[in-house]
């Protein structure tokens, strides 16, 4: 009888897209350092060898959030994982934040490492940074993989901004920041500092997207909490010969929820001629 009651009272399991399985620890880097840019120190770590692939994380996060993907890439690529300005181990400097500034930070890291061209892999805010570089500095981008990023404010779902997955993600980011940052008590100040970028995204024009020259994949989870699916599909149509990647039963956090499917799509894209 007790077992029967327990089964009856058991709650149905959440669908995968409503969960947030956290990434494992990052593999050991072959090297790590900082690039000094406009009064800030931008952290980066290096893994593996081969053609360069740069990983750009989501807002409030850090490069360790790519742990599942680094493990899938290191055998064939030289992976450069960067902490965006003010986030993770990187410092803010005194300038106001913008995607333009974060894009210039990425280029500064590339210059320090003497990398002329690299494949850019960007998730969420990292996707916006990657798009910015591909549009304004096309000679620096060999391939472009953008996941969970829109091209203007019409691509945002404001009503679901406080989904449980985002609450859990913010908690993870706070814990990481307190452990990594040289200003561990300033996470709330970091949120306030980044908020204007999210409230007033710079956006890209359709003509700018049509002009992207690098081979491109535009992707998202089929249950993204904040990105409008129609705009993801439109971006894939606007960018010449872009590949559309929609991962089933996942959300904005597909790289954590289904790393196997995410990595398969990423590796196949990078390996394609």
Sheet containing strand 243-247, edge to edge, reads: 31-37, 40-47, 77-82, 51-56, 118-123, 141-147, 216-221, 243-247
Lowest mean pLDDT among 6-10, 159-163, 217-221, 228-232: 6-10
Mutual angle of helices 99-112 and 125-136, in 10-degree steps = 70
157 closest CA partner among 218, 208, 217, 231: 231
7 pLDDT band (50/70/90 cuts)? very low
The whole-number pLDDT of residue 202 equals 73
* pLDDT tops 80 at residue 161: no
13 pLDDT band (50/70/90 cuts)? confident
* pLDDT tops 70 at residue 5: no
Dihedral pair phi/psi, residue 32, rounded to 5°: -150, 155
Please give the average per-residue pLDDT across 223-235, as a whole number: 96
157 pLDDT band (50/70/90 cuts)? confident
The whole-number pLDDT of residue 10 equals 56
Percent of the chain's residues with pLDDT above 70: 94
Residue where the block lists tokens 């908020």: 195
Please give the average per-residue pLDDT across 215-240, as a whole number: 97
The matching CATH number, chosen from 3.40.50.1820, 3.40.190.10, 3.40.630.30, 3.40.50.2300, for 24-271 is 3.40.50.1820
| pLDDT, tens only, 63-83 | 999 999 999 999 999 999 999
Please give the average per-residue pLDDT across 33-40, as a whole number: 96
153 pLDDT band (50/70/90 cuts)? confident
* pLDDT tops 90 at residue 186: yes
Structure tokens at 132: 């910015």
- List, in sequence order, the alpha helices (H) in the chain: 2-9, 67-73, 99-112, 125-136, 164-180, 187-199, 206-210, 229-238, 254-257, 259-271
The whole-number pLDDT of residue 12 equals 66
Residue pair 217/191 in contact by the 8 Å Cβ criterion: no
Transcribe 158-212 into DSSP letters: GGGTT-HHHHHHHHHHHHHHHHH-SSTT-HHHHHHHHHHHHHS-----HHHHHT-
Lowest mean pLDDT among 48-52, 151-155, 191-195, 197-201: 197-201
Cβ-based neighbours of 128, under 8 Å, separated by 6 or more = 99, 122, 149, 201, 202
2 pLDDT band (50/70/90 cuts)? very low
207 closest CA partner among 231, 176, 185, 240: 240
Mean residue pLDDT across the chain: 94
* pLDDT tops 50 at residue 156: yes
160 pLDDT band (50/70/90 cuts)? low
Cβ-based neighbours of 82, under 8 Å, separated by 6 or more = 42, 43, 44, 54, 55, 56, 57, 63, 90, 105, 106, 109
163 pLDDT band (50/70/90 cuts)? confident
| pLDDT, tens only, 107-136 | 999 999 999 999 999 999 999 999 999 999
Residue pair 128/71 in contact by the 8 Å Cβ criterion: no
Alpha carbons 211 and 205: distance in angstroms, whole number: 10
């Amino acid at each position: 009888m007790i077992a029967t009651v327990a089964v009856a009272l058991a709650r149905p399991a959440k669908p995968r897209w409503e969960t947030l399985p956290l990434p494992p620890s990052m593999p050991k880097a072959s090297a790590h350092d900082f690039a000094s840019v406009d009064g800030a120190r931008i952290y980066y770590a290096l893994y593996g060898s081969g053609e360069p692939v740069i990983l750009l994380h989501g807002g409030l996060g850090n490069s360790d959030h790519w742990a599942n993907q680094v493990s899938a890439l290191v055998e064939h690529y030289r992976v450069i994982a960067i902490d965006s300005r003010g986030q993770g181990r990187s410092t803010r400097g005194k300038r106001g934040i913008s995607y333009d500034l974060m894009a210039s930070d990425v280029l500064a890291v590339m210059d320090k490492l003497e990398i002329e061209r690299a494949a850019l892999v960007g998730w969420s805010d990292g996707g916006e940074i990657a798009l910015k570089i591909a549009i304004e500095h096309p000679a620096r981008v060999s391939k472009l993989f953008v996941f969970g990023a829109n091209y203007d404010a019409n691509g945002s779902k404001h009503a679901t901004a406080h989904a449980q997955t985002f609450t859990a993600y913010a908690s993870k980011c706070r814990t990481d920041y307190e452990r990594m940052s040289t200003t561990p008590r300033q996470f709330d100040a970091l949120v306030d500092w980044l908020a204007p970028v999210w409230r007033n995204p710079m956006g890209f024009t359709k003509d700018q997207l049509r002009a992207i020259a690098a081979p491109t994949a535009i992707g998202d989870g089929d249950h993204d909490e904040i990105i409008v699916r129609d705009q993801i599909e439109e971006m894939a149509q606007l960018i010449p010969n872009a590949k559309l990647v929609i991962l089933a039963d996942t959300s904005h956090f597909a790289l954590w929820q289904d790393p196997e499917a995410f990595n398969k799509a990423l590796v196949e894209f990078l390996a394609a001629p």
